[in-house]
Amino acid sequence: MSELGEKKQVKASVETIAPPAVAPSSVTSSAAPSSSLSAASPKSVASGTSISTHFNGGVAGSGKAKTGRKPRVESKLAESMPSAMISENLTASLKAALERGRPAPEAGFKIFAGNAHPQLARDIAKCLDQPLGALVNTRFANGESWCAINESIRGADVFIVQPTCAPVNDTVMELLIMCDAFRRASARRIVPIIPYFGYARQDKKVRPREPITAKLVADLISYSGADRIFAIDLHAGQIQGFFNMPVDHLPAQPIIAEYLIKNGIYDSGVTVVSPDVGGVGRATHLAERLGADLAIVAKRRPEPGKVKIIDVIGDVEDQVCVLIDDMIDSAGTFCAAANELADRGAREIYGCATHPVLSGDAVRRIADSAIKELIVTDTIPIPPERMISKITVLSVAEVCAQAILRIHHDDSVSTMFESF
């Protein structure tokens, strides 16, 4: 075949497959529907470029729209929630929020309880005037945990109330399994409410070849499907950085300070005492709220399980002393500090802690110590057989309830205590 004949055949082939030219206005208009081929310029069609581009996924620059989770429904609250921490005002603000046209709870968010602290979950649900979600959480004969969600949670914000308290390994594993179940059930957002975070004291390596278990647990919760975390008084603030997600971390000092003020324990004549050097920051915050002085107990551990008080920095003689810590576990350090304050002439001694772990002989030590009253919160359930007359339990249910509303509506959580 001659060279002229070959050129005519190629030109005929191109004209056969090329679509008709499109006006420039249709190319620039985003409203007019058109195919990938018709949206291309005549020049690109003639060169064959638009045809190959279409078959490989569409014209360049016109990729598919990204799909993601459902857009948030804007809060219908007429105004932001009050930030006062006083219980009466907080309860009133919760009721007011429910009456101002907040979206129906069953359509917006749901609260579920693990086996660690079902009473706290019921108290939170009562503050929000809605029932707990339908969830079965049990074990197989061989000890494996298993759960089943008995209602639709598709597109809802799910809040799981589960402090990882004793038995710690069981409650942690149960939380992971629940998060996985909610993720596979298409929850819009999964938020574990962890008032007490177990393994928090293993947040660094003290000796070589030790694990950092707090980071490990944070990774497990992240990988299980959680989207953000709500916690109260973490043992160390840097644990927030162990999570690869937002962490809403609130202190319990405002709740404790409110109780002390109502009982006249504030201002001059009161000294807030840190039982060790590591808790000075916590004690300083409480002292500022109470308008009180500050003292520090310096101690050392000659051997595991034993505490020796070296000195008390600050004036405690004839003072009402308030010992403050984030948790009371075996109560050895706490009670030793209280007895030392009594020996140095303290008039009255009150103990305060957020998390009443109370393991081993802790209750007996507290009963035999110089502590007049131990004020704790219900981040961890205390069995009835371990309750004594010295222990006063304050509820964090209203704080958790307001935090849930604020998280659900994407409002600020940290401002809850600003006006206290």
Residues taking part in catalysis: 299
Contact 344, 312 (CB under 8 A): yes
Buried b (16+ CB within 10 A) or exposed e, 369-407: bbbeebbbbbbbbbeeeeeeeebeebbbbbbbbbbbbbb
Cα→Cα distances 378→33, 199, 364, Å: 60, 18, 20
Contact yes or no for 326/235 (Cβ under 8 A): yes
Per-residue HEC secondary structure of 109-175 comes to: EEEEECCCCHHHHHHHHHHCCCCCCCEEEEECCCCCEEEEECCCCCCCEEEEECCCCCCHHHHHHHH
Residues facing 211 on adjacent strands: none
Q: Output the CA–CA distances (angstroms, integers) from residue 70 to 16, 124, 186, 192, in the order listed.
A: 45, 26, 11, 20
Q: Which amino acid is at 133?
A: G
- Enumerate residues 6+ apart whose C-beta is below 8 A from 156: 106, 107, 108, 109, 110, 187, 188
Is the peptide bond preceding residue 275 cis, with omega within 30 degrees of 0? no
Dist. CA 114–CA 343, nearest whole Å: 44
Angle at 42 between CA 39 and CA 44, to 5 degrees: 85
Per the listing, tokens 């110089």 go with 370
Report which residue type is found at 70. K
Residue type, 327: M
H or E stretch at 54:
helix 49-55
